[in-house]
């Protein structure tokens, strides 16, 4: 092409009047704006010296190759002797347009890169390429976008988007393009060094580049392919925009299972890329699945089991290929187990889980295969090869379990026996310590222990053991640890302690149980007056007091020779009768209905009540003062009671019943002093401060309330 142009007729060539000036002049930028350009090499005729043609061809080849054939090169022969000029001219001055511009005329329109007439030496390709590159840089704007394709169900998409998705992709894909803000990527010229570029808040970056080919590369782990990954900058002095989209790596799912199709949890999976890049490390979840985003290409899947614990599988090496499609991929990796997961459920004979240490040895040898502890759910887990093994459960000395040994067999069909094992518990003496709610020993409390399972340790004997606490409030019984039992204090009219029942299990050799005293206990006196505090503070206990009075009249007075009377006090006094009456059916029923009519309210005047009782009840053998002590129980109160007591010739006992009194405080000590003074008893009773909701109470209170709220049944009982 240049050769043909250089052989044009001399009449059409612009005359060369003189050699170009020595000074390199930069032409007016307005002449170049929006225009392409080319490089023109002017050399003297071949007839003068063939070396000019050789240097021209060599330089032309270097320019075209370096700039990726984006800058065209034209060669012209000029008549000036020893001429060798290199220029950059606008594209419309190219000889193919019908006219050649050379020497002085070309100098006015071009940027002179090299002139041999001035330098007096031949040009070097490196220097020529450097000068051309500095002058010919083009302003380029890169627009970086992130591209992600999502697959959704049809009913999730709006109607318009759903219609487009169905037409373009049967999998209902939606493409999302977002600007990559503050994103770093590498740009490398095909013959140059890479440079890092950083986008702004809009995902754009402007840079001046020489014409030619470039490669775009990213190191961000979130993205895979670039479109395009190679770009070309043309030889045009005009701003140029290049849009590059980075595809998000596709979601890949890996399932790891063994030869028995059992999913492998917590499996450490490694993915190696070819060509080598950073290794991807994954760990499967409990369902044997793991997920990650991967770029397209070939990977080698291996596992890393570490060196501390040998993994129960053969070495894994499997190749997987991530395709270039946008569809998510699923890979199923099969591993070959050499040891198999064995899970044996450990239970007591009462079906409770057993958490205990264990060791496993190969049968007939001392080779230990595994050690560990069963879980809180009683599951013993270990990895074992095929064969027969001996399992030993090793509970500590203070454990409720018995040391146990049994055989375990893992068969060739990846099965094992047994899958469940019963563990025996110890049978031993257990000390049961009974205390009252205030912390004092429950002396002489009769109770019953009944086993809940027919196969319990009491089989062949009585299923119910009767026990009584000693002077320290304890009783020793032989029972099986962790075996369910029922503890019961049976209801009785003269019982010292309230009836109660509950189920329990224990793994200890000593347990504590709280039992509550009844309000009155066993009433031994023949002529009794109940003095009951019905002040406002007794409101939370009044229902329990009324029930206790009913039970006492029903079980300890009815049908006996005893006599009774009931006196209540607040600001004033209310008496059931003037004096003690016989325990006939009529008197007991009326006494119980009198109890039902009791209401609380007002202040507490205990001294007035005792004064009235001791002066007017001349036939009484004993008084039962029931109060919560919300009045001044001090030395003056005790002195007044002493005077009243000594003035009564019968010297009746004043048994005091303190409800929820703080131990060893003023009220406690005062009521105890009154009982000691009159050679009577002080009963400190603990009652819960709740309303009259029977179903929300413990069994021992519920029993009292049920008797109290069943007058028809009471009538039937009295007939007997």
Give the tens place of pLDDT for each residue, 435-467: 988 888 999 999 999 988 776 665 545 678 899
Q: Is the pLDDT of residue 627 over 50?
A: yes
Give the tens place of pLDDT for each residue, 24-39: 556 666 668 888 999 9
Mean pLDDT of 64-89: 91
Q: Is 720 exposed, middle or buried (0-12, 13-18, 19+ CB in 10 A)?
A: exposed
User: 29-136 architecture in CATH?
Assistant: 3-Layer(aba) Sandwich (3.40)
Query: Which percentage of the chain shows pLDDT scores above 90?
Result: 45
Q: Is the pLDDT of residue 5 over 60?
A: no
Cβ-Cβ contacts under 8 Å for 525 (sequence gap 6 or more):
562, 621, 622, 653
Q: Could you please state the CATH topology (level 3) that the domain comprising 139-148+177-248 is classified under.
A: Immunoglobulin-like (2.60.40)
What does the pLDDT read at residue 9? 36
Asked if 242 and 229 count as a contact pair (C-beta separation under 8 A), the reply is no
Mean pLDDT of 492-507: 86
Let me know if the fold of 340-422 is the same as that of 427-452+464-514.
yes
Mean pLDDT of 269-287: 83
- With cut-offs at 50, 70 and 90, classify the pLDDT of residue 297: confident
Asked if 71 and 38 count as a contact pair (C-beta separation under 8 A), the reply is yes
Domain boundaries in the chain?
A: 29-136, 139-148+177-248, 250-337, 340-422, 427-452+464-514, 527-685
- The enclosing H or E element of 160 equals helix 159-168
Which CATH code is given to the segment(s) 250-337? 2.60.40.1120
> Which of 309, 401, 402, 405 has its CA nearest to residue 359?
405
Asked if 67 and 29 count as a contact pair (C-beta separation under 8 A), the reply is no
Q: Is the pLDDT of residue 153 over 60?
A: no
What does the pLDDT read at residue 492? 77
Mean pLDDT of 481-499: 87
What does the pLDDT read at residue 439? 84
What does the pLDDT read at residue 275? 65
Higher pLDDT, 21 or 344: 344
Q: Is the pLDDT of residue 164 over 70?
A: no
Asked if 500 and 488 count as a contact pair (C-beta separation under 8 A), the reply is yes
Give the tens place of pLDDT for each residue, 638-674: 999 999 898 888 899 999 999 988 888 888 899 999 9
Sign of CA dihedral 613, 614, 620, 623: positive
pTM equals 0.52
Asked if 516 and 548 count as a contact pair (C-beta separation under 8 A), the reply is no
Give the tens place of pLDDT for each residue, 510-519: 999 999 889 9
Domain 527-685 in CATH: superfamily? von Willebrand factor, type A domain (3.40.50.410)
What residues are paired with 451 via a beta bridge? 485
Asked if 515 and 442 count as a contact pair (C-beta separation under 8 A), the reply is yes
DSSP state of 63: H
- With cut-offs at 50, 70 and 90, classify the pLDDT of residue 212: very high
Mean pLDDT of 130-151: 86
Q: How far apart are CA 4 and CA 114, in angstroms?
A: 24
Q: How far is CA 536 from CA 67, 623, 627, in A?
A: 107, 22, 11
Q: How far apart are CA 720 and CA 659, in angstroms?
A: 33
3-state secondary structure of 520: coil
Asked if 555 and 518 count as a contact pair (C-beta separation under 8 A), the reply is no
Q: How far apart are CA 431 and CA 546, in angstroms?
A: 36
Options 1.50.10.10, 2.60.40.10, 2.140.10.30, 3.20.20.70; which CATH number does 427-452+464-514 get? 2.60.40.10
What does the pLDDT read at residue 1? 33
Sign of CA dihedral 464, 465, 469, 474: negative
User: 340-422 architecture in CATH?
Assistant: Sandwich (2.60)
Give the tens place of pLDDT for each residue, 384-432: 888 999 999 999 998 999 999 999 999 876 789 999 999 999 999 999 9
- With cut-offs at 50, 70 and 90, classify the pLDDT of residue 14: very low
Q: Is the pLDDT of residue 120 over 80?
A: yes
- How wide is the angle at C-alpha 542 spanned by C-alphas 541 and 543, nearest 5°? 95
Mean pLDDT of 559-571: 92
Mean pLDDT of 356-365: 92
What residues are paired with 353 via a beta bridge? 347
Sign of CA dihedral 361, 367, 373, 374: negative
DSSP state of 473: S
Q: Is 143 exposed, middle or buried (0-12, 13-18, 19+ CB in 10 A)?
A: middle
Q: How far apart are CA 137 and CA 211, in angstroms?
A: 7
Give the tens place of pLDDT for each residue, 686-713: 887 543 333 333 343 333 333 333 332 2
- With cut-offs at 50, 70 and 90, classify the pLDDT of residue 147: confident
Asked if 160 and 168 count as a contact pair (C-beta separation under 8 A), the reply is no
What does the pLDDT read at residue 526? 93
Give the tens place of pLDDT for each residue, 531-557: 999 999 899 999 999 999 999 999 999
User: Pseudo-torsion of CA 479, 480, 481, 486, nearest 10°?
Assistant: -60
SS3 for 677-715, per residue?
A: HCCCCEEEECCCCCCCCHHHCCHHHHHHHHHHCCHHHHH
What does the pLDDT read at residue 431? 95
What does the pLDDT read at residue 176? 79
- With cut-offs at 50, 70 and 90, classify the pLDDT of residue 262: confident
Q: Is the pLDDT of residue 605 over 80?
A: yes
Q: How far apart are CA 680 and CA 655, in angstroms?
A: 5
């Amino acid at each position: 092409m240049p050769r043909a142009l250089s052989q044009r007729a001399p009449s059409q060539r612009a005359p060369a009047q003189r050699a170009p000036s020595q000074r390199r002049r930069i032409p007016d930028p307005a002449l170049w704006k929006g225009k392409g350009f080319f490089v023109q090499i002017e050399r003297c005729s071949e007839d003068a010296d063939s070396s000019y043609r050789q240097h021209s061809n060599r330089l032309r080849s270097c320019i075209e190759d370096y700039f990726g054939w984006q800058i065209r090169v034209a060669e012209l022969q000029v008549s000036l002797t020893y001429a060798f000029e290199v220029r950059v001219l606008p594209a419309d001055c190219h000889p193919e347009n019908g006219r050649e511009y050379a020497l002085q005329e070309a100098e006015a329109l071009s940027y002179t890169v090299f002139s041999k007439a001035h330098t007096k030496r031949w040009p070097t390709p490196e220097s020529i390429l450097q000068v051309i590159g500095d002058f010919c840089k083009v302003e380029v704007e890169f627009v970086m976008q992130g591209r992600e394709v999502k697959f959704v169900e049809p009913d999730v998409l709006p109607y318009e988007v759903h219609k487009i998705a169905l037409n373009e992709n049967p999998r209902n894909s939606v493409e999302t393009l977002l600007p990559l803000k503050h994103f770093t990527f590498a740009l490398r010229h095909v013959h140059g060094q890479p440079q890092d570029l950083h986008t702004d808040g809009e995902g754009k970056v402007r840079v001046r580049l020489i014409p030619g080919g470039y490669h775009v590369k990213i190191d961000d782990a979130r993205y895979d392919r670039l479109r395009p990954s190679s770009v070309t900058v043309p030889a045009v002095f005009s701003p140029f925009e290049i849009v590059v989209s980075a595809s998000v790596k596709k979601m890949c799912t890996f399932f790891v299972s063994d030869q028995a199709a059992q999913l492998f949890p917590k499996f450490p999976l490694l993915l190696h890329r070819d060509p080598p890049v950073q290794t991807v490390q994954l760990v499967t979840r409990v369902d044997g699945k793991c997920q990650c985003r991967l770029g397209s290409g070939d990977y080698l899947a291996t596992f890393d089991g570490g060196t501390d614990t040998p993994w129960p599988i053969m070495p894994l090496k499997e190749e997987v290929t991530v395709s270039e499609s946008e569809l998510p991929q699923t890979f199923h990796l099969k591993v070959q187990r050499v040891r198999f997961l064995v899970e044996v459920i450990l239970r007591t004979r009462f079906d409770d889980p057993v958490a205990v240490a264990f060791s496993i040895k190969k049968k007939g040898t001392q080779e230990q295969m595994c050690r560990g502890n069963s879980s809180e759910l009683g599951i013993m887990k270990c990895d074992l090869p095929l064969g027969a093994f001996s399992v030993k459960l090793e509970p500590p000395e203070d454990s409720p379990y018995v040391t146990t040994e049994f055989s375990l067999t893992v068969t060739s069909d990846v099965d094992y026996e047994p899958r469940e094992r019963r563990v025996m518990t110890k049978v031993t003496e257990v000390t049961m310590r009974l205390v009252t709610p205030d912390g004092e020993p429950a002396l002489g409390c009769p109770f019953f222990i009944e086993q809940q399972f027919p196969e319990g340790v009491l089989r062949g004997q009585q299923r119910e053991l009767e026990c009584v606490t000693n002077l320290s409030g304890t009783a020793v019984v032989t029972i099986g640890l962790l075996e369910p039992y029922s503890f019961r204090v049976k209801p009785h009219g003269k019982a010292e302690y309230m009836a109660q029942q509950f189920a329990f299990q224990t793994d200890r050799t000593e347990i504590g149980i709280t039992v509550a005293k009844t309000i009155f206990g066993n009433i031994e006196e023949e002529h009794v007056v109940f003095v009951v505090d019905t002040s406002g503070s007794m409101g939370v206990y009044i229902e329990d007091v009324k029930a206790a009075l009913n039970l006492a009249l029903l079980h300890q007075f009815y049908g006996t020779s005893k006599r009774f009377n009931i006196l209540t006090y607040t600001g004033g006094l209310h008496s059931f009768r003037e004096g003690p009456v016989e325990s006939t059916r009529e008197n007991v029923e009326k006494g119980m209905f009198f109890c039902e009519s009791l209401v609380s309210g007002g202040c507490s005047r205990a001294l007035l009540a005792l004064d009235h009782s001791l002066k007017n009840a001349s036939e009484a053998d004993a008084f039962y003062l029931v109060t919560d002590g919300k009045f001044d129980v001090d030395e003056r109160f005790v002195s007044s009671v002493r005077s009243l007591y000594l003035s009564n010739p019968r010297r009746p006992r004043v048994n005091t019943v303190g409800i929820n009194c703080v131990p060893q405080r003023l009220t406690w000590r005062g009521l105890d002093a009154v009982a000691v003074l009159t050679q009577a008893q002080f009963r400190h009773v603990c009652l819960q401060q709740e309303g009259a909701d029977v179903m929300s109470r413990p069994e021992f209170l519920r029993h009292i309330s049920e008797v109290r709220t069943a007058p028809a049944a009471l009538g039937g009982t009295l007939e007997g």
